[in-house]
Amino acid sequence: MTQTPRAFIFDMDGTIVDNMSFHTKSWIAFLAKRGRSVDPDDFFRDSAGRQGHEIMRSYMGADLSDAETATLDAEKESLYRDLYGPHLEAVAGFESFIETAQEEDVRLAVATAAPPANIVFTLDGLDLRRHFDAVVGAADVARGKPNPDVFLLAAERCGVAPGHCIVFEDAPLGVEAARRAGMRAVVLTTTLPASAFAEFDNVICIARDFTELDIDALFDSSPLIQQAQ
């Protein structure tokens, strides 16, 4: 009997790499340069998973043109890469986890709000792209998380129904996007404590890193969920 196709879909920032503090630092420095002060924790909860142009318009003005947000985004992301570059590494156990998943015929995708340059910086910088059946980023969808677009496109490109996909996330907006896509979620507490995800009924496991996860147990952990309307 042919097994129903299954997929793991990974957020990138804060999930494949533990880098969200560097994103926050770069945003704070970027905004401070323009006379704007933000609380780091509040900023993360409001922004993690959203696309750069969405964040930029929230904090720099809703009337910014696409060209203006693109220029500002490029400046901010360059600052981030300079800060995080010396620290670039995968979360503990990630490479072993995805290699085992491939051996068990689980399809793999990345679904991130990151722009193309950051995807290259991370996936190619760590030589991880070769493992994935699909890589979907900010350039591929119009809306960031909590909208489900990026996860649904990743599932489509993998040829796997949403109900047979498990998303790996570190941010509430990402978990909500998975819920709206009809997908279960595993939370990595790289950035926020488990208590930050208590409201989500699609979370099937919370772990510190990938060494704590068992592939078969994840797929057996919960029945399929329905896509939210």
Question: Per DSSP, what are the bridge partners of residue 108?
Answer: 8
Q: Which of 11, 13, 73, 170 is catalytic?
A: 11
HEC assignment per residue over 147-188: CCHHHHHHHHHHCCCHHHEEEEECCHHHHHHHHHHCCEEEEE
Cα(178)–Cα(225) distance, integer angstroms: 10
Cα(29)–Cα(226) distance, integer angstroms: 41
11 catalytic per annotation: yes
The answer to whether the beta carbons of residues 171 and 190 sit under 8 Å apart is no
DSSP 3: P
* Helix runs in the chain, H state only: 20-32, 40-47, 52-60, 66-84, 94-103, 116-119, 149-158, 172-181, 215-220
For the sheet containing 184-188, what is the strand order?
A: 134-136, 106-111, 6-10, 165-169, 184-188, 203-207
Cα(166)–Cα(91) distance, integer angstroms: 18
Cα(178)–Cα(166) distance, integer angstroms: 8
Residues designated as active site: 11
